[in-house]
Structure 1
């Protein structure tokens, strides 16, 4: 497809953002990769989403779909991870398409891909080939197992990362099988690390003029999210397992029922415990010799026999909102909110974390940018591109191709 409409992010506001002037080629699909380039786009980079003309990102079919009054249905899922980008179609299997990507690389600062390692090399478009076109190129590769090691060529999904990174084995309840984390945390974590790595590599380019490969794996990323599990094993031989909503050694610190749902309570320090006892009208319990110190409350038997029943008695008389109001700024207590409650949370609104993005001609609320920069102001967010929506303008503006040259590429099936 070679449509041509103005990119939503190409205005003066985009040019004033921190990464304005940075050109990113996004050759990724689904989330591990698109989320990385979306973060760069939110910060002002000119992100060009590269898709095959006959086989675009299949996340475009993921629900929920939004049906506009006069426009074809579009995926809100896809739009959430591809906002602020421009779209181009390139057939990387064709000779002309390969040559076209190399021309684009000459004008780019970053290329992000999430193919299985070796795929780009088979296409003749690996880093060693592309760096000949642009030695300053930062080549960010996201994969299940990374570009090195005995498992590098294995296929992977988010659940793969959760499984082989150890997180799956730690989640759930001790008397039941392990449970995956309820979001695609492997994809998301890898994208976040890839973003950090990309920015670090760009800083190196500024100093040395040399690009490099940023190699991020889902397994590696998940492993770093296991908190104390690794050092517990390497120092004490302890194997972390499912703990439900409990912490391995900090107590009380977890989920507790109340009148209309559940809250998180983390008042495990002596200060917070004293304030909690006062808040519920029983200050003398802060001096109870069995539970008067943090170390005593850490004991699993004491926590279950004395502390938990006490908290459940206190909390059962109040609703989530009442408990939050009582705790205020003094004690770490938060309602365990449903997604609708989060979306409508006044604090989330004040932080501009729910934004409206056009999807199929309709306005759809989705998460905003968690990065708040004091010198930049709120980051304007634009819609996701249709497949190849900006092909003609990108080829004309970035490569200087005229209409005839672009039409020849279309006729050859290269775009």
Structure 2
């Protein structure tokens, strides 16, 4: 059953038009997964506990309208969703969830493993109601293994997945990556896994459990660290702004700040030598190949000083004008710079979403650009429980009396 055959549920245009998603998740990894599906046309229904809603409704920054406030954080990760309330600790709430699941395609949750089972609405139970259900579970350590019941946050994943140990200045302690990469990595793998399972369910009628762990996701983003250890016994270390072995590929000072310069291939190195007026360096037998420049001693003695000299007397804007169309060179930009960059606007990566009563909220856009079925990022996040009656009527087939009984029982 899809939104196309459910009168009363809005059918969204997009690649996922007609797909019905129940999003029971909270905070970031799960909600962002649901947001991406909603951007591409899925009818995503965010399910919250009426007495314990998603905690990010209280996260800063706040958009205020009189005494009311809207979390910009919540708005960004929950745009485009219908919102309902269900208390799964009540018999009535669990029954209602089962009735919704019977006509849904996907369910997303990111509770600690075992929580949904304790509530009586785990995967096995819901799969009996709807055998084609794609049940996406995002957790810290995964649904299996000796660590599965441990509580986890983003930093748990960064620490347990090895990322902290690889980040920071060479002579300093490990440093957390400056964004919630453990959550974000899990989001992206969850979206991928959900769509793979949906494809299988559409072909065969067989749903499945999609099990995505934050720690696993971080491990999968450590580039060459795992094979460096398994092949050569080399343990990744924190190297600051340098790449472990690709050179030149790092931050350099310029006249008014810093730029990234990454002309490490033979082609880019030759172009850099020509652009900065020293073409003969491209043929210097000590540094004429990428493999030679990768040698740390050669790089520090011969290559790095040359690049520092090229860049030091020029401003970042001057260097970008001079070289960025030819070489991997860019100013190290602040978020203010990024938001105000014309290139960001050209790619629609900061969008304005109108929230009734609050006005427009600017947030990041959708990086996936589809030529035939583009994302629709203009629909706002809903108020708590705003669409409860509409969804229960359309998806579960409930009438006014049944909805009133749910309300009286405190289930919605």
The TM-score range, normalised by the shorter chain, is over 0.9
Q: Tell me how far apart the structure 2 counterparts of residues 269 and 140 of structure 1 sit (CA, whole Å).
A: 41
Q: Tell me how far apart the structure 2 counterparts of residues 324 and 197 of structure 1 sit (CA, whole Å).
A: 39
Q: Is the 8 A contact 1:26 1:112 kept in 2?
A: yes
The residue that corresponds to 1:16 in the other structure is 13
Matched, 1:336 2:332: yes
The residue that corresponds to 2:244 in the other structure is 248
Following superposition, the deviation at residue 304 of structure 1 comes to 1.3
Q: Tell me how far apart the structure 2 counterparts of residues 397 and 111 of structure 1 sit (CA, whole Å).
A: 17
The residue that corresponds to 2:368 in the other structure is 371
Q: TM-score, normalised by structure 1?
A: 0.95
The residue that corresponds to 1:131 in the other structure is 127
Matching residue within 389, 392, 408 for 1:392: 389
CA-to-partner distance for each residue in 1:348-380, whole Å, 9 max, x for gaps? 111111100134512121100011111124524
The residue that corresponds to 2:205 in the other structure is 209
Matched, 1:348 2:344: yes
Q: Secondary structure at the match of 2:320?
A: helix
CA-to-partner distance for each residue in 1:353-410, whole Å, 9 max, x for gaps? 1100134512121100011111124524211111101001111122222222211110
The residue that corresponds to 1:284 in the other structure is 280
The residue that corresponds to 2:229 in the other structure is 233
CA-to-partner distance for each residue in 1:83-129, whole Å, 9 max, x for gaps? 00000000100010110000010111010000110010011101111
Q: Secondary structure at the match of 2:354?
A: strand
Q: Tell me how far apart the structure 1 counterparts of residues 330 and 23 of structure 2 sit (CA, whole Å).
A: 39
In structure 1, stretches of 5+ residues that fail to align are 1-9
Matched, 1:405 2:402: yes
Q: TM-score, normalised by structure 2?
A: 0.95
Q: Is the 8 A contact 1:186 1:221 kept in 2?
A: yes
Q: Tell me how far apart the structure 2 counterparts of residues 292 and 13 of structure 1 sit (CA, whole Å).
A: 61
Matched, 1:46 2:43: yes
The residue that corresponds to 1:322 in the other structure is 318
Following superposition, the deviation at residue 326 of structure 1 comes to 1.1
Matched, 1:220 2:186: no
The residue that corresponds to 1:160 in the other structure is 156
Number of corresponding residues: 405
* Structure 1 residues 272 and 89, CA gap change in structure 2 (3 angstroms): same
Following superposition, the deviation at residue 12 of structure 1 comes to 12
Q: Tell me how far apart the structure 1 counterparts of residues 42 and 280 of structure 2 sit (CA, whole Å).
A: 58
The residue that corresponds to 1:3 in the other structure is none
Q: Is the 8 A contact 2:139 2:214 kept in 1?
A: yes
Q: Is the 8 A contact 1:13 1:380 kept in 2?
A: no
| Aligned pairs for 1:79-118 within 5 A | 79-118=75-114
Q: Secondary structure at the match of 1:73?
A: strand
Q: Tell me how far apart the structure 1 counterparts of residues 314 and 281 of structure 2 sit (CA, whole Å).
A: 20
Matching residue within 115, 118, 121 for 1:119: 115
* Structure 1 residues 351 and 14, CA gap change in structure 2 (3 angstroms): farther
* Structure 1 residues 298 and 13, CA gap change in structure 2 (3 angstroms): farther
Indicate the larger mover: 260-269 or 232-241.
260-269
| Aligned pairs for 1:17-36 within 5 A | 17-36=14-33
Structure 1 residue ranges (4+ consecutive) displaced by more than 4 angstroms after TM superposition:
10-14
Matching residue within 52, 58, 61 for 1:61: 58
In structure 2, stretches of 5+ residues that fail to align are 1-6
Q: Kindly indicate whether structure 1 or structure 2 has the higher relative contact order, using CA contacts under 8 Å at least 6 residues apart.
A: 1
Following superposition, the deviation at residue 14 of structure 1 comes to 5.8
The residue that corresponds to 2:3 in the other structure is none
Q: Tell me how far apart the structure 1 counterparts of residues 220 and 9 of structure 2 sit (CA, whole Å).
A: 39
